[in-house]
Amino acid sequence: MLSLSEPALPGECIRAEKAWKIYDTAKGPVEAVAGVSFSVRRGEFVAILGPSGCGKSTLLMMCGGLEAITAGRISVDGAPIACPRTSIGVMFQESTLLPWKSVLDNVMFPIELLHRPRREHMARARELLSLVGLSGFESHKPHQLSGGMRQRAAICRALVYDPDILLMDEPFSALDAITRDEMNDALLDIWTRYTKTALFVTHSIREAVYLADRVLVMNRRPATIVADIAIPIPRPRDPSVGETKLFNELCSTLRGMIEHSHRAARDVTPYA
């Protein structure tokens, strides 16, 4: 367990220390995140895995400065996070492309807001789009694209202003299984090329194992991290990894943990 006073380790990028999120509702306070501590090293790909409604998205938004922290501390690059920063890129569950902008203009939207030089970033936007296989679609409008293509554009938008950290909130959960596998490969591709620190929230065990260096398993009650599992599958990974013994063993270990923590939650009285 990390103590509050411990200095940031070299190479440490995100660090949560007993972070709490408590919502006031009509039925009384609800603990969405209950004293979570973890850390992510620079360039590491970490997945937060948990059942739906366990507070993992809230935790991610707290890391991005988009949700206030009730108690405890989350620091990014050594400084406690209180509001969103331009060193962090966020991907949401929906692609959130603006319907009246073309794909290229959507990717350039952060550049527009941040008043960065347009010319050089335009080249970068086109490069990113071609990397995810969207060249030729620059002037299409979002409604002309499939769900997978929209999320590809959203990846480009999150990377165009070159943030150091990428926070992803179940970005592919609304897609069908086949598209989802394609998106995972596209994401790995782009991540290897740019090596960002990545924090990826998902409820899919296979997705977490396929993508991450480390998987943090999150429990529902209390909403806290119950396990921190390293994924020693060598990179670069491709879909054939999914058939290896190691991959499937890791998956069943994680499944066991989620089921175990579920049972434990059912055995104790509901968390008041």
- The footprint of other proteins (CB under 8 A) covers 22, 24-26, 29, 64-66, 83-86, 88-90, 92-94, 96, 98-100, 109-110, 112-114, 141-143, 161
Residues 40, 13 contacting (CB under 8 angstroms): yes
Contact residues for 149 (Cβ-Cβ < 8 A; gap 6+):
134, 137
Q: Which C-beta is closer to other proteins: that of 83 or that of 123?
A: 83
> What sign has the CA pseudo-torsion 260, 180, 147, 120?
positive
Residues 160, 128 contacting (CB under 8 angstroms): yes
Nearest approach in angstroms of CB 79 to other proteins is 15
SS3 per-residue string spanning 121-157:
HHHHHHHHHHHCCCCCCCCCCHHHCCHHHHHHHHHHH
Nearest approach in angstroms of CB 96 to other proteins is 4
Q: Which C-beta is closer to other proteins: that of 24 or that of 243?
A: 24
Q: Which C-beta is closer to other proteins: that of 40 or that of 231?
A: 40
Q: Which C-beta is closer to other proteins: that of 160 or that of 250?
A: 160
DSSP 3-state of 119: helix
Nearest approach in angstroms of CB 245 to other proteins is 40
Q: Which C-beta is closer to other proteins: that of 35 or that of 237?
A: 35
Single-letter amino acid, residue 186: A
Nearest approach in angstroms of CB 98 to other proteins is 6
Nearest approach in angstroms of CB 196 to other proteins is 15
